[in-house]
Amino acid sequence: MRLDVITIFPEYLEPLRHALLGKAIEKGILSVGVHNLRDWATDVHKSVDDTPYGGGPGMVMKPTVWGPALDDVCVGKSAGWQLDSAAPHVDKPRHDDLTGREFEGYVEPAEEDKPLLIVPTPAGKPFTQEMARRWSGEQHIVFACGRYEGIDQRVVDDAAHRYRVEEVSIGDYVLIGGEVAVLVIVEATTRLIPGVLGNASSHEDDSFSDGLLEGPSYTKPREWRGLAVPDVLFSGNHKLVEEWRREQSVKRTRERRPDLLEGLE
């Protein structure tokens, strides 16, 4: 899988290169490009935002910077460009105002050939384990990190010509920008790619994978600070252990997330 992240804070994405994801990069399962949006800014101040039409607080990120950035990152992979660094791609052809050419319309790729563009926003659809499962089979995912009051809506509308676009939220709260949401989405998605987790079955019992929360786990010692591991786990009876785990899972889900039980039999 190829991941590209466009952000004004490339350092925020550094964790993508550590631990299991770093190993996946070394193994060639994953490749990651992090790009500084300011590399596509054209004025001396490298500005990426402007005041909102209609007034109001905050700033909105400019379409004239985001458009060329997304164009370059979209075709970069298939054109074999080196996108592993945050280097600017200013010598590459673009369709719009940076080259001074008139916009000539789009050549629309087939839907299945379009990379997936994920735009994290509190106004997006809720991110779920099911999305992570689906996206773990993608070839190329591009993330657009907004800051301030968000990105000019036309960026997303225009990108739909070259990308399959998903605007997603990681929860009902507002972050300062999309970077942390990208880390969350990438981690949840890439751990489901075969070969990323050491043990292939590690995620089979995950919370949410069967619609329930995962129950408690225990390891040695059998007794610790007066707390004993439940006897059933020493019974040697696999069926009994499975039944107990299922009960614990249902109990925990009923206590913590009764909403999840509503949709289940």
How many whole angstroms separate alpha carbon 251 and alpha carbon 79? 52
Q: Is there a binding annotation on residue 172?
A: yes
Q: Show contacts with ligand ADE in window 171-230 (CB under 6 A).
A: 171, 173-175, 178, 181
Choose the catalytic residue: 96, 122, 133, 205. 122
Per the CB < 8 A criterion, the answer to whether 115 and 78 are in contact is: no
Sequence-distant (≥ 6) Cβ neighbours of residue 250 within 8 angstroms: 212, 261
Per the annotation, the verdict on 39 as an active-site residue is no
| Active site annotation includes 214 | no
The reply to whether 94 belongs to the active site is no
Provide the residue type at 264 as one letter: L
- Asked whether position 58 contacts ligand ADE by CB under 6 A, the answer is no
List all residues 6 or more positions away from 180 whose beta carbon is below 8 Å from its beta carbon: 12
Minimum CB distance to ligand ADE, residue 224 (Å):
37
Rounded distance between C-alpha atoms, residue 178 and residue 183, angstroms: 9
Identified catalytic residue from 52, 206, 252, 257: 206
Nearest residue (CB) to ligand ADE, 174 versus 227: 174
**Site residues for ligand ADE, window 109-138 (CB under 6 A)?**
120-122
Is 149 considered catalytic here? yes
What minimum distance in Å lies between the beta carbon of 166 and ligand ADE? 11
**Torsion angle, alpha carbons of 39, 109, 137, 80, to 10:** -50
What whole-number distance in Å separates Cα of residue 114 and Cα of residue 62? 23
Per the annotation, does 171 bind a ligand? yes
Give the annotated binding-site residues. Answer: 146, 170-175
- The residues of the shown chain that bind ligand ADE, judged by CB under 6 A, are 120-122, 169-171, 173-175, 178, 181
